Amino acid sequence: MKTIEIEEDLYLYIASQTKHIGESASDILRRLLEVDGQELPEEQAVIVVENKDEDNIEQELVVEAAHTATVAEADVSDSDPLDYFNFAEITEAGSSTKRFLSLLSGLYAISGEQFAKACVLKGSKREYFSQDKDLLLASGKTSKPQAIPNSPYWVITNTNTARKRHILQHVASEMGLQEFQIERLCEAV
């Protein structure tokens, strides 16, 4: 396994180029570098994105070898968005805040563009989402903004579980998920 460290702005650019549900960082880079469909020497590089630390938004790309000679990915546009959430891992995340952040990260992975439109949510005195941590801090001294993993967004986390579910429900609904899918996501908080 090899590790490649990249600067945050480059990572955020790569993540923002997601075009469809389940598109991996490797697929995004192949598309951007115009190497899609080319054969690779003996092994295919699969890129997995990890967030090292919830309070630190530095990102790391981990490259793993997979024994596949060509790039062939099934079209996932007809699949269930819930297939892209690891609910067992989310459940083990511990606090409702960690589960909330993980679920929002999954929604961003489904479609960064739809997520951007859906996260325009404001309270009477607070901003809930922003790409600027300081903006969220300015809207309330106790908002406790945290980075949404694998996305350029921050969200306030100093809310009760019911409010976290409401925020998640709003974003998922605005993104066009079905009611049973939204319920499953909200139950995971």
Place of tokens 């429900």: 169
Residues 156, 143: Cα–Cα separation, whole Å: 5
CATH number of the domain bearing residue 125: 1.20.1380.10
**Same domain, yes or no: 174 and 100:** yes
Mean pLDDT of 142-162: 94
Across-strand partners of 2? 63
The interaxial angle of helices 96-110 and 161-174, nearest 10 deg, is: 10
- State residue 36's pLDDT score: 60
Cα–Cα distances in angstroms (integers) from residue 16 to residues 20, 172, 182, in the given order: 11, 18, 23
Any domain includes 76: no
Q: Is residue 73 in some structural domain?
A: no
Global pTM value? 0.59
pLDDT at residue 88, rounded to an integer: 86
- Domain of 23 in residue numbering reads as 2-66
Helical H runs in the chain? 8-16, 25-32, 87-91, 96-110, 112-118, 133-138, 161-174, 179-188
Q: What tens digit of pLDDT does each residue of 43-85 get? A: 444 444 444 444 433 333 333 323 222 222 333 345 688 877 8
